Amino acid sequence: MSNNNKKYKVTNWREYNASLKQRGSLTIWFSEDFDQSWLAVKKVKQDRGRPFIYSDTSMNLMLTLRHIFRLALRQLTGFVESLFVLIAHS
């Protein structure tokens, strides 16, 4: 049996630390019309029941994020709210 456990010695800690931080980076791109497609379009004639607030596009996005990151609904709510804060500050 050969020993393939070669040890890597870090010589540039600043670069190594930056690469570890980059692994946790998350980038999400939104389309230019994101703010227009987020809310549901209000109907002229309202059927019975509570009116829709969010569009199908926004619901699909939230469910996709929930599935990818395995979030509970309250965690998903906090995650989406934090995205809105980031969008508002950019």
Domain ranges of the chain: 26-89
State the average pLDDT for the chain.
Answer: 82
pTM to 2 decimal places: 0.60
Tokens describing residue 3: 């020993």
Q: Is the pLDDT of residue 10 over 60?
A: yes
Confidence tier at 16 by pLDDT (50, 70, 90): confident
Helical segments of the chain, H only: 13-23, 34-37, 56-69, 73-89
Closest CA to 41 of 62, 57, 60, 63: 57
Residue-wise pLDDT tens digits, 31-57:
888 778 887 877 666 677 777 788 888
Amino acid letter for position 39: L
